[in-house]
Each structure stands twice: as C-alpha cells, then as structure tokens.
Chains A and B, each alone.
Chain A
Amino acid sequence: MDNTTLLHENDIASLSKEKANRLLWLGRYAERAYITLHILRKYHDRMIDEDEHAYITYCTKMGIENQYTSAADFMNRYLYDHENPDSLFSMLNYANDNAIVLREEITSETLSYIQMAICHLHNCASQSSDINELQLITDNLLAFWGSIDARVANPSLRCVLKAGKLIESIDLHIRFGYSFDKVYQFFSPLGELISKEKSIFDEETLKRLQEQMTKIRYKELATLQSINRLFCAE
C-alpha cells in the first residue's frame, strides 16, 4: 500500500515571499472569522433586549462602514452577503483563497475544515439562518488550527501561520477594548514565535511594539499600526 504523502523538502529557503504572505493571511483571516463570530454572538445577545443599535458600535470598533439599516439587516448582510467585503462570507472566502494555494503545505485534511466551514455558511445563507446555526463554523475553525498543529511539520510554516493568528487576535482584542492582560496573553506567544524566526519580522517594529505594549499605551493607534507592520516578508 502506498497512500502516504511523501515528505516535503521544504525549509525557509523554499518558502517564497508569496507563500509566506499567503500563510500569514490565511492565519489572519481564519482567526478573523473565528473571533468575529465570537464577538458577534456577544453583540447579538445585546441586541435581543438590551441595545438594538449595538451593531453601530460594533461597526465603529471593527473600523468598517455602517451600511446597515437595522440589527436584522446587519445580522443578515454582515454574515452572508458575498458582495460585502467585510462580511463573514468574505472573510472565509479570503481564508480559502489563501488556503487553496497552500494545499501541499497544510495538507488536504487541514484545508477541508475551511472548505466545510464555507459549505456550512452557504447552507445557512440559503436559509438566512440565525447566528446560533453557525457554531459548526467555529468548530471547523478550531479543528483547522488543531490540524495545523497535527499535520504541518515545518516549523517555519507553522510560525508564519501562528503569527498571522496572533497578530489578528491582538488587533481585534485591542479594537474591541479587551483588557491589557487579555491582549498580553496573545502578545507573549507572538514574541516567542518571533524570536524563533527573526528574519521574517521587522526588529525595529518589534522594539516599538514592545514599548507600546504597556497597560497605559496598548490601546493607542500606534500599537495597531505596529502590529500590522510587524511581518516584513511583504
């Protein structure tokens, strides 16, 4: 029987600039979709009986245009509108656009979790399902990261993917006003990752970011700017 994937001969020298970028953005979009669902559930809860216009605050914090006419319009179009570049639909498709060209690196099994998330979103979109029906997408995104850990052996590849995940996580947690301790939970492992693959990250930006990452300054715009300039293979 011969059904195993043959060993890849990859290392950092056979990681092209484009591939590194795709890995980073795969990590970012997969995490963006995951955290978006998490935060949306909280806002959806608020909109039930507490503040029906909470979506306006959401849009402001997320830094996206409020193009929605009501909470219901927001919950429908922000989730399912394939022409809306801000929507969950677009986030997952951007993740897929990057994942599909990385099949040989992340494996078909890992890619399949993104594919299944998209299939489920299509099904939910066709029925205008409630956000509660999207738990399977969250589950698939968690399985995606589990599969990365289990199946992607190359440490450089994993480092870029995880860096994308953590960068997105820090960005969104800062935007939505999470506490310093919570944000630092993501910053700390990012620092460890960067120390292993220094060449892919900009050291000067990292220094600036470390200075910014204090209880007083972490919410400043400069922190968000630095976090988004950290990766320098672009």
Chain B
Amino acid sequence: MSKILIIAEHRSGKLNSSTAKCVTAARAMQAQAIDIAVFSSDPAAVAAQAAKLDGVSRVLSLDHPANDPALAATLAPQVVALAAGYTHVLAPSTTFGKDLLPRVAALLGESMASDLMKVIDAYTFERPIYAGNAITTVQAAADRKLIASVRLASFAATGEQSGSAPIEAVKLDVPLPTHTRFIELQAGAQDRPDLQSAARVVSGGRALGSAEAFSIIYALADKLGAAVGASRAAVDAGYVASDLQVGQTGKIIAPGLYIAIGISGAIQHLTGIKDAGTIVAINKDGEAPIFEVADIGLVGDLFKLVPELTAALD
C-alpha cells in the first residue's frame, strides 16, 4: 500500500489546479494515504482549499517565512525531511515541480520519473520521451521511494469532497540555505484565462507577423472566453510573452478546444496539444503538418478568416 505525499503548487493564496491533478494520479496508485504539503509563509487559505480535494487524507501546513516565494533550494531539504514517512512523493510537472523534485530526488539518492502520463500500478507507469514520439512503460523498484512529476494534460482534476480533510501544522527543524535569493517576479498578464487550465485555447504563430497583429488572436479568444497561446516562433519574435509558449519546451495543455492560427505544426508544438479534445487549424498552406492532427481544418488567409470567425460568434 502506498503512502503518498503531494507538494502543493500555489500562488497568491490560491491552490493551483495542478495539485488536484496530482491527487487523481495518486488515487490510481493503490493509495492508503494521500497527504498534501503546503509550504507557505501564510498557508491557511491554501491548506483549506487542499483539504477540500476528494481523496485527500491530511493536509500538512508548513508555515515559514522562507517558504514564500517557493524556491527549490529552500523547499527541497524540507520535503526530504517530510518524505521519511512516505512511499511516493509527487508534484506537478510544471516549472514549479520540475525545479523542485529533481533536487528532492537527488538529496534522497533516488531516481526520478518526469511527466508521468498513465499510472498502471503503484510502481509501474507510462511516460513520454522524444517529444512524445515514444511512450515508455517504466517499472520503478518497489523497495525505493518513487519521486515523480505528473503530466497535467494526462489527468483530470479530482473533485471536491463534502467534508474536509484534517489540517495539521508541521514544524520542521532543518537548516535552510541562504545562497539563493528571490528578487522579483514579472508576472504575465493575469486578466485572461490561465493557459494551463483553460477549456479553450486560441494560439497564434509566426504568421501573425507582429505583436500588434496578435490583437486579432486576443479578440477571438475574448469571444470564446479562451486563453491565448503561441508557438515558439511567435514568442521568439517577441509578439507575446514567453509564458504563452505551447509545446515540448513550453506548456503541455489539454483544452477541450484548441485553435491553431498561422502555426505550421512542428513536432515540438504538437507535443503540447496532443491531448486537446478538438483541434482546429487555420493556415494558408493546405500541406502544413498541423492539418495531419487537426480535427477541423480551414485553409486560407488568417487575416481575413480570423476577423470573420470572431464576427460570426456574435
């Protein structure tokens, strides 16, 4: 039987939905207990949200001024101390989890599994390699701790329970490093749906040609209540911020509807959208690889078609 520790991801007092997806993965691991650890300088609100998640046994609240903002170097020794009583340690495969978990695994002397996409049993799972061109089945040693990051596009968020799991304050006595200092966060725009959890996403590519032209993408997204994404080429060219990049090295997403506009469909981009419900592509090149994966394709000039589509949604 597994005892699973999940490291909560949160920001500004809000639990990230990535945590609820980790709970879903944990529930498939013959879990006897699923505990969520909330590291914060003010964990109460986030702990209360975590305690509502269906399937959670306990929430551990780790209140420390050094826990905000979360730095891998500061959290890792604390997670290691907590991990003693657990068979598994999970975190989301977001930049938060990717930064933290390998540091934890190395301190524990354990191998780590990145981007767990399917749980077969407590120590057997699938994960993608080569930008998702191959899916591997991995057997982890059952006498070791399994440290794994959970691929968000592969798991639905667990629901809420009617009651609430107990919340326990935990005090750890571990020395924390001072060699790493947070200076600032230049946050991306927050007035739009979040790319990683949105039900609909509209993405633009290099074809947009400028930051100004991207306004037609925003206009369509607004009509649909959609988040905005972009190809690497569009980000590199400076049309949008880097946190909008979708793909192998950006965000891996699974919205119900994904609309790719002026995006060719390079393998690295497709890796990020493989789990989308319906993919729509608008591209002037009928031979573009994006049409190989699109459920609905429309060939033509985006500068004409996108405003027309936006208008048609009135």
Chain A complexes with chain B: no
* Interface set of B (CB-CB < 8 Å, partner A): none
